[in-house]
Structure 1
Amino acid sequence: MSGIVRAWVDGWVLSRGAAPPQREPWGFTVDVGLTAQVSRHVFDALGDDVDETVVRKVADGVTGTGVWLKVFQSPAVVGGWLGEGWWVDPEPGYLMTVPLAAAETGGTSVPDGYRMRTWSVGRVTRLLVVAPDGSLAARGQVTPTGATAVFDQIETAPAQRRRGLGSIVMRTLQATAAAEGAGTGVLAGTPPGRALYESLGWHVQAPLTSAKFMGPDAG
């Protein structure tokens, strides 16, 4: 899907308050500014189009801890390309999309006793579901950037799962993005989240490997 990585990067940096992406021959560099994630290198090829030689070259040029790679290929494949000092998340992520006009947006009322609130800061709309005892039940946020909207930080508290709250969050945010003119939703999901998103009409475009440089003496 042409341009989907750029769409995800553009929405993610707004969602997280990161620096504008720097274009690279192979993708994008994003400065995040956190100890655990100083910056990230995001490759724009998907699946079998990912070039092992390019990934190796970029990874070999990393010398500072806290730098991440985001590669749209399986961890089982990418892990074999990286040298000493790299930690590779063995659990794959998934780059996913949905046509928002066809996305499931019904059933956005929270159960009795729960409270839902949405608010916007800049172009980011956040949603919070509070449990009857006042604790966090679920949350998420969406950032429309024109034709696309990036969904981010979708979370349901472990004690609150299997109550349909994740679906409520996603349906509400999907309706919000569609109302703002976005035609396509984009997100990077986890294996547990994948089933939820697919039930709402989302499709996997590529697996996603996350790798972090820990330093040559990381063990």
Structure 2
Amino acid sequence: MAKTGSELMRRWSTGWTVARSLPGPEPVGSAGDGLRSRCDQPGREVEVFALRADEEPGSVARLAAVVAAAGGTAGLTVPTLHPEAVQAAVAAAGLEVLHRSEWLMTTVLAEHPRQAPTAPYGREVRTAGPVTVVSLRGSCGEVAARGTVAVVGADAIVDRVGTDAAHRRRGLGGAVMSALAEAATGQGALTGLLVASEEGQHLYSSLGWRHEADVVIARGPAVPSAR
């Protein structure tokens, strides 16, 4: 991936750790290969982010070896314009590919569509430092949709956007994204960044977000339990 894309991944991973209240990422591998952050999630204690998979293809194998050595407690996130080649390198290192259609996406926040939730949904916005959580609540007070954004400098990293199954197809995803963009702009952010699942790609594209790279996500091999 071009150096511009590598810089986007660096910025995204930094904001992602802020959004999830995790330790900031630290360098891992050879100089410039990638970053590593503790996730402290069940079965996924550490995440490694590749920074130059396309610029230096050998970096993927080096980072995959680090993840493989950690066993099933580590994951690898690789932005790339050549996902097939990355998947092959990851598989050769013994890692398991988890997702095959994630996208690294960006947008200009000033151009983001504004969309209010329709009745009976109400909007709740809570900001603590650089992190804002937007919740849309139904008539009984239940959370129908939610999303998080972390502002780091001029960047707004969107994370954990989702709509409850009982409230889908009502435009709530767009309303959450609108509220997140509004909150981030109010804090001085100019550029939005996110990693989109296959389910979210259509929504974000319809809101003007641009595909910058595919993202290959893998995890280390499970460690056999002792008998």
TM-score calculated relative to the size of structure 2: 0.86
Cα contact 2:100–2:215 (8 A) shared by 1: no
- Matches of 1:192 and 1:79, distance apart in 2: 21
- Matches of 1:27 and 1:112, distance apart in 2: 45
Q: Deviations over 1:145-167 (max 9, x none)?
A: 11111010011112211100000
Cα contact 1:148–1:185 (8 A) shared by 2: yes
Q: Name the residue aligned to 1:77.
A: 85
1:54 is the counterpart of 2:63 = no
Alpha-carbon distance, 1:186 to partner? 0.4
Question: Any stretches of 5+ residues in structure 2 without a counterpart?
Answer: none
> Counterpart of 1:60 in 2: which secondary structure?
helix
Pick from 210, 213, 218 the counterpart of residue 203 of structure 1: 210
Task: Count how many residue pairs are aligned between Structure 1 and Structure 2.
Answer: 214
Provide the aligned C-alpha RMSD in A: 2.0
- Matches of 1:50 and 1:58, distance apart in 2: 12
Q: Name the residue aligned to 2:10.
A: 6
> Counterpart of 1:91 in 2: which secondary structure?
strand
| Structure holding more helix per residue | 2
Q: Name the residue aligned to 1:40.
A: 47
1:59-208 equivalence runs, <5 A: 59-62=64-67, 63-64=69-70, 65-73=72-80, 75-82=83-90, 83=92, 85-104=94-113, 106-108=114-116, 110-208=117-215
Cα contact 1:100–1:178 (8 A) shared by 2: yes
Quick one: which amino acid aligns to residue 62 of structure 2? K
Structure 1 residue runs of 4+, over 4 Å off?
Answer: none
- Matches of 1:149 and 1:55, distance apart in 2: 27
1:29 is the counterpart of 2:36 = yes
Question: Any stretches of 5+ residues in structure 1 without a counterpart?
Answer: none
The percent identity for this pair of structures is 29
